[in-house]
Structures are given as structure tokens and as C-alpha cells.
Amino acid sequence: MAGKTINIAFTSDDWRGVALSNFSLSPFELDGCLMASVEGFIQGIKFPPGHPARNRAFASWAWEAKQCGEGADKQFAYWEDAQIGFGSVEHHHLVERALRARFAQNEGLRRVLRSTRGLDILHLTGEAPQPAPTSLPAELFCRILTDIREAG
């Protein structure tokens, strides 16, 4: 299977890539807070607690979740009592915690991820190049998924 890949994206032509994408409806809990999707988490933490877009994002998935983040100033991410520099190592660690929580809480997703063993994980969305800074650079996303897959 050398040289074979799987694109983990909502627009993937492989159903596993769609299921494993951050956009997919895949509820999980992080620090006692229930999320509908990783994308909803990523977009929601762009707003401080109490902001209406925050809770709307946490309850959303797919394009609706992505749209919730529009208008965010992208200077900080907010989680619990912390204000974290947007795009910082700490911000990326927080998003990684959310990804790991999603998989830890869903055996079905872990099985889907394991079914991709032997494939290189890509994250190609067809969008313009990633803005910098970003909540989850494609390279980091692929590394995290690969690490979870190989550990499980």
C-alpha cells in the first residue's frame, strides 16, 4: 500500500475521510462542555464566554459551524479561564486535546481511523492556502490523526 493516501476532509471522496473530518457531526465532551463537532469547538473558542456565537458554534457542525467563526478577531482563543494567543502552541495543544477527546469517546470513529492504516493521511480541502495563524494547520492535523491511529 506504499504511496496510498486518504484525504481527511468533509469533501473527501472516501466516506472514511468525511466521517473523520472536523466538520462531521460527532459529539464529544471536553472539560465538561458538550460539543457537536470539532469544527464547532474550533470556531466557538474564537469568542469569549458569553458571546452568542460561541454557544451557537459549539452546537454546530459542517459549514454552519465554520460560519459561526466569521467575524472573530482571531487574536485569542478562550477556554475556561484562559485567554490564549490565536495560532500559538498553546492554542494548537487545546485543539489537539479536543481531537483526542473526540476519538477517546467514540469507538466507532477509532475503528474507522484504524481502517486507514497503511495510508498516508492528507488534509486537502480545495480552499485557498491556509491563513496564518490558523487554529489547526493541516500538517498538525495529519500528525495528530496519525498518532491517534498508530496508538490505537
Domains, in order of start, for the chain? 5-151 (1.10.357.40)
CA distances 87 to 46, 57, 82, 104, 121, Å, are 11, 19, 14, 24, 22
* Beta strand spans in the chain (E): 5-7, 28-30, 33-35, 76-79, 82-85, 120-122
Q: What is the pLDDT of residue 133?
A: 78
Q: What is the mean pLDDT of residues 48-54?
A: 96
Label residue 105 left, alpha or beta by phi (over 0 means left) and psi (-120 to 50 means alpha).
alpha
Q: What is the mean pLDDT of residues 92-120?
A: 97
CA distances 25 to 50, 56, 63, 83, 94, Å, are 23, 14, 11, 27, 20
pLDDT at position 2 over 90: no
Q: What is the mean pLDDT of residues 28-49?
A: 98
Contact partners, residue 126, CB within 8 Å, separation at least 6: 9, 11
Q: What is the pLDDT of residue 55?
A: 96
Is residue 72 packed enough to be buried (19+ CB in 10 Å), middle (13-18) or exposed (0-12)?
Answer: buried
pLDDT at position 1 over 80: no
| Euclidean distance between the first and the last CA atom of the chain, given in angstroms as a whole number | 20
pTM of the model: 0.93
